[in-house]
Structure 1
Amino acid sequence: MGEPNILLDSLLAEARISHAGLAVRINAAMATARRPTHYDHTAIARWIRDRAIPRGDVPEIICQIIGSKIGRTLTLSDIGMTRNRIEPDEPGLPQVIDQAVALWRGDLVDKAFLTGATMIDGPAAIAPVFEWENPPHEPDVSRRGPHPVSRDDVQVLKDARARYEQMYRRVGGVPVRPRIVAFLNANVTPLLKGSHDDQTGRELFRAAGGLVALAGVCAYDSDRQALSQRYLFHALRMAKASGSLAFGGYVVALLANQAMSQAKHRYVIQYAETALRGTRDHLSPALVTDLHILQAKAYARVGDRASCHAHMRRSETTAAQIREAEEPPETGYVQPGLLECQHAEALRRLGDLMAAQTYAEEALRHADTCHLRGQTHRLATLALVLAERRELDQAVATAETMLERAQGMESERIAERVATVADALRPFDARVVRGFLTRVRQQARVPL
Structure 2
Amino acid sequence: MSEPNILLDSLLAEAGISHAGLAARVNRVTSTARRPTRYDHTAVARWIRDRAIPRGDVPEIICEIIGGKVGRPLSLADIGMPRSETGRDEPDLSQAVDQAVALWRGDLNNKVFLTGASMIDGPAAVAPVFEWENPPHELDVSRRGPRPVSMNDVQILRDARNRYEQMYRRVGGVPVRPRIVAFLNANVTPLLKGSHDDRTGRELFRAAGGLVALAGICAYDSDRQALSQRYLFHALRMAKASGNLAFGGYVVALLANQAMSRAKYRYVLQYAETALRGARGHLSPALVTDLHTLQAKACARVGDRASCHAHLCRAEATAARIRHDDEPPETGYVQPGLLECQRAEALRRLGDLTAAQTYAEEALRSADTCHLRGQTHRLATLALVLTERGDLDRAVTTAETMLDRAQGMESERIAERVAMVADALRPFDARVVEEFLTRAHQQARVPL
1:66-91 Cα deviation digits (max 9, x unpaired): 23333444333321224665545521
CA distance in 1, matches of 2:111, 2:404: 30
Q: Could you tell me how far 1:177 is from its partner in structure 2?
A: 0.3
Distance in 2 (alpha carbons) for counterparts of 1:397 and 1:166: 28
SS of residue paired to 2:115: coil
Task: Report the CA distance between 1:139 and its aligned residue.
Answer: 0.4
Contact residue 2 and residue 117 of structure 1 kept, 8 A:
no
CA contact (8 A) 2:440 2:446 kept: no
Distance 2:266 2:41 in 1: 46
Q: 1:13 Cα deviation (Å)?
A: 2.0
Which 4+ stretches in 1 moved above 6 angstroms?
none
Q: Which residue in 2 is equivalent to 1:92?
A: 92
C-alpha separation between the residues in 1 aligned to 2:69 and 2:187?
Answer: 23
The yes-or-no answer on 1:311 pairing with 2:311 is: yes
Q: Which residue matches 1:26?
A: 26
CA–CA distance in 1 between the matches of 2:77 and 2:148?
28
Task: State the match for 1:244 in structure 2.
Answer: 244
Give the distance between the partners of 1:206 and 1:32, measured in 2 at CA: 49
Q: Kindly provide the amino acid, as one letter, of the partner of residue 23 in structure 1.
A: A
Query: Which residue does 2:273 correspond to in 1?
Result: 273
CA separation in 2, counterparts of 1:442 and 1:100? 38
Given the alignment of the two structures, is residue 70 of structure 1 paired with residue 70 of structure 2, yes or no?
yes
Q: Which residue of 2 aligns with 1:322?
A: 322
Using a 3 Å threshold, how does the CA distance of structure 1 residues 221 and 445 change in structure 2: closer, same or farther? closer
Q: Distance in 2 between matches of 1:124 and 1:19?
A: 30
SS in 2 for 1:114: helix
**Contact 1:360–1:381, Cα closer than 8 Å, also in 2:** yes
Is residue 296–residue 312 contact of structure 1 (8 Å, CA) maintained in 2?
yes
Report the Cα offset of residue 57 of structure 1: 1.8
**What residue in structure 1 maps to residue 11 of structure 2?**
11
Residue 397 of structure 1 corresponds to which residue in structure 2? 397
Residue 353 of structure 1: aligned partner: 353
- Matches of 1:7 and 1:190, distance apart in 2: 17
Query: Residues of 1 paired with 2:113 and 2:174: CA distance?
Result: 14
SS at match of 1:280: coil
Give the aligned partner of residue 150 of structure 1.
150
What are the superposed Cα offsets for residues 222-281 of structure 1, whole Å, 9 maximum, x if unpaired?
A: 010000000000000000000000000000000000000000001001100000100121
CA distance in 2, matches of 1:16, 1:201: 29
Write the distance in 1 (CA, Å) between the matches of 2:274 and 2:353: 31
Q: Does 1:372 align with 2:372?
A: yes
Q: Are residues 153 and 209 of structure 1, via their aligned partners in 2, closer, same or farther at CA, if it must alter by over 3 Å?
A: same
**Identity rate of aligned residues, in percent?**
84
Contact 2:82 2:88 in 1 (8 A): no
Aligned 8 A contact 1:396 1:433 in 2: yes
* Paired residues of 1:172 and 1:221 also in contact (CA < 8 A): yes
Q: 2:61 maps to what in 1?
A: 61
Q: Secondary structure at the match of 1:56?
A: coil
Which deviations, in whole Å up to 9, do the C-alpha atoms of 1:145-189 show, x marking residues without a partner? 011111111111001000000000000000000000000001100
The residue type paired with residue 127 of structure 1 is: A
Partner secondary structure for residue 53 of structure 1: coil
Match of 1:52 in 2: 52
Instruction: Give the letter aligned to residue 150 of structure 1.
Output: S
The whole-number CA distance in structure 2 between the counterparts of 1:15 and 1:154 is 28
Q: Following TM superposition, by how much is the alpha carbon of 1:28 offset from its aligned partner in structure 2, in angstroms?
A: 2.4
1:156-171 alignment to 2 at 5 Å? 156-171=156-171
Q: Is 1:362 equivalent to 2:362 in the alignment? A: yes
Cα offset, 1:198, TM superposition? 0.5
Instruction: For 1:161, give the aligned amino acid.
Output: R
| Equivalent residue number for residue 207 of structure 2 | 207
CA shift digits 1:348-395 (9 cap, x unpaired)? 000000000000000000000000000000000000000000000010
Contact preservation (8 Å) 1:53, 1:83: no
Contact 2:80–2:88 (CA under 8 A) maintained in structure 1: no
C-alpha contact 2:299 2:308 (8 A) present in aligned 1: yes
1:335-350 maps to which residues of 2 (within 5 A)?
A: 335-350=335-350
Paired residue type of 1:355: A
Determine the C-alpha separation between the residues in 2 that align with 1:112 and 1:333. Answer: 33
- The answer as to whether partners of 1:2 and 1:116 remain within 8 angstroms in 2 is no
List gaps (5 residues or longer) in structure 1: none
SS of aligned partner of 1:259: helix
Map of 1:283-298 to 2, 5 A cutoff?
283-298=283-298
In 1, are the aligned partners of 2:419 and 2:446 still within 8 Å (CA)? no
Residue 438 of structure 1 deviates from its aligned partner by 1.7
Q: TM-score, normalised by structure 1?
A: 0.96
Q: CA deviation at 1:432?
A: 1.8
Instruction: For residue 5 of structure 1, report the CA deviation from its aligned partner.
Output: 2.0
CA distance in 2, matches of 1:432, 1:396: 7
For 2:434 and 2:112, locate their aligned partners in 1 and report how far apart those are by CA, in whole Å. Answer: 37
What is the distance in 2 between the residues matched to 1:342 and 1:385?
13
Q: Which runs of no fewer than 5 residues in structure 2 stay unpaired?
A: none
Give the paired residue count. 447
State the match for 1:258 in structure 2.
258
Assess, with a 3 A threshold, how the Cα gap between structure 1 residues 227 and 312 changes in structure 2: closer, same or farther. same
Quick one: structure 1 residues 325 and 113, their matched pair in 2 at CA, closer, same or farther if it must change by over 3 Å? Answer: farther
Aligned partners of 2:172 and 2:411 also within 8 Å: yes
Alpha carbons 1:5, 1:80 under 8 Å: kept: yes
**1:427 paired residue number:** 427
SS at match of 2:114: coil
- What is the CA–CA distance in structure 1 between the aligned matches of 2:291 and 2:335, rounded to whole Å? 14
Contact 1:3–1:114 (CA under 8 A) maintained in structure 2: no
Q: Deviations over 1:293-332 (max 9, x none)?
A: 1000000001000100001000011100000110000000
